[in-house]
Amino acid sequence: MDDSVITDDIKDDAIKTKGYFIYPSQLFCNVAAKANTNDRLNADLNSIFVAIESSAYGYPSEADIKGLFADFDTTSNRLGNTVKDKNTRLAAVLKGVEGLKLGDFNEHQIDLFGDAYEFLISNYAANAGKSGGEFFTPQHVSKLIAQLAMHGQTHVNKIYDPAAGSGSLLLQAKKQFDDHIIEEGFFGQEINHTTYNLAV
């Protein structure tokens, strides 16, 4: 689909329903497809992140989306010394994620992306001398908590996690129980803005 077919009404409806808007050319699959040949990949990714955030300006979701990509620096020297090196590294990451067989969240017991994320967070935390508990609740613990909280329930108004971290407990609750059981949705809060952005 070409970006030119997107009308203001389509954009407005997407923002009202999802909280933000992404043009077809900005979708992960389209950016990843051109990643190896895009000489402006780091600049394009930055522009996409800015566009996603700015799409929510003036909408109720603005506060949720604001700063979502603040810690993602596509110009960082950690990616490489030259723009070409940075683009090569970014393309490798995009292609690596693209190659994962993630499947559909609702249809699989194995959460490949979640497992990879959990592995990376635990290694990051271990290297920083921490347990990682401030970022995520391990999947098996999240699953147990969700099952205990929902045991014998036929319906629940909402699910709330007061220390949501990266949202793993909320995701596990969503995965464990049908939508019709949870009437008003999922809610969480997190004091660390960067960690909160992981959950969003």
Taking only the tens place, the pLDDT of each residue in 22-67 is 999 999 999 999 999 999 999 999 999 999 999 999 999 998 888 8
Residue in this structure with the two tokens 């603005």, named with its chain if needed: 62
- Separation CA 110–CA 120 (nearest Å): 17
* Predicted pLDDT at 122: 63
* Predicted pLDDT at 45: 96
**R_g of the chain, CA atoms, integer Å:** 19
* Predicted pLDDT at 44: 96
* Predicted pLDDT at 95: 93
